[in-house]
Amino acid sequence: MRAIAAPTRPPQTLSVREAAHKLRKDIPDDIEEVLFTSSEVQARVRELARDICRDYAGKDLIVVGVLKGAFIFMSDLTRAIAEEGIPSVRIDFVKASSYGSSSVSAGSVAVDLCGSGPTRWSGRHVLLVEDIIDSGNTLRRLAADVAGCGAASVRVVALLDKKGRRQVDFEADYTGFAIDDRFIVGYGLDYAETYRCLPYVAVLRPEAYSH
């Protein structure tokens, strides 16, 4: 039988520009800068989980993720909480929308408790999990709703905090990173429902959303 030779390629040399492009091959062109790498995010999530486990030791903790943006942070954080000392942690989700598909806050917040409420949260210590705080409208509304359900306590953990954008007085109890006012995507955050699944936190190029 005649052996079929594997195809060969001529040796390649890359220009500096081509090499730089190759290094960025997994980063979409719309991304201007990676703000926090996957490893940096994971390390910070682990630190937050340790702080949370220290503060909630011996308490009946229920962690409530705010969809959609918090879904990846929620997943990593709750597993870290279970590993760091509270394996009995329970989870729920709520849905909050303030931006729609625009890059500018609409100011109003639509809340869907996704079947949760007083029967789930009454008497329990609730920790709301958010990907980002911007104007503060979403969390102020959600924290009030959860407290109104009879929770024993309500706290908030947010991965990212744009403190300079507040429209209402609201502070998280645990914050991953304070950031400037730039358009952030990745690790759950989107632009028009894209880029949520990037494993890092990145800045979107203005050209990508300003046309």
> Does position 66 bind ligand PRP by CB under 6 A?
yes
Instruction: Residue 136: count other Cβ atoms within 10 Å of its Cβ.
Output: 19
**84 or 174, CB closer to ligand PRP?**
174
CA angle 25, 29, 35 (to 5 degrees): 85
Per-residue string for binding with ligand PRP, 107-136, x by CB under 6 A?
-----------------------xxxxxxx
Give the residue among 121, 130, 122, 153 at the shortest CA–CA distance from 56.
153
Phi, psi for residue 30 in degrees, rounded to 5: -70, -10
Q: Which stretch binds ligand PRP (CB under 6 A): 1-9, 35-43, 79-87, 96-104?
A: 96-104
Instruction: Residue 6: count other Cβ atoms within 10 Å of its Cβ.
Output: 5
> Does position 175 bind ligand PRP by CB under 6 A?
no
For ligand PRP (CB under 6 A), the number of binding residues is: 19
Q: Is 134 known to be catalytic? A: yes
> Does position 137 bind ligand PRP by CB under 6 A?
yes
Catalytic member of 131, 134, 161, 190: 134
Instruction: Residue 114: count other Cβ atoms within 10 Å of its Cβ.
Output: 13
**Would the CA dihedral through 180, 135, 150, 95 be positive or negative?**
negative
> Does position 208 bind ligand PRP by CB under 6 A?
no
Paired tokens of 107 = 């100011």
> Does position 145 bind ligand PRP by CB under 6 A?
no
Q: Which of 190, 195, 200, 204 binds ligand PRP (CB under 6 A)?
A: 190
The footprint of ligand PRP (CB under 6 A) covers 66-69, 96-99, 105, 130-138, 190
Instruction: Show which residues are catalytic.
Output: 134
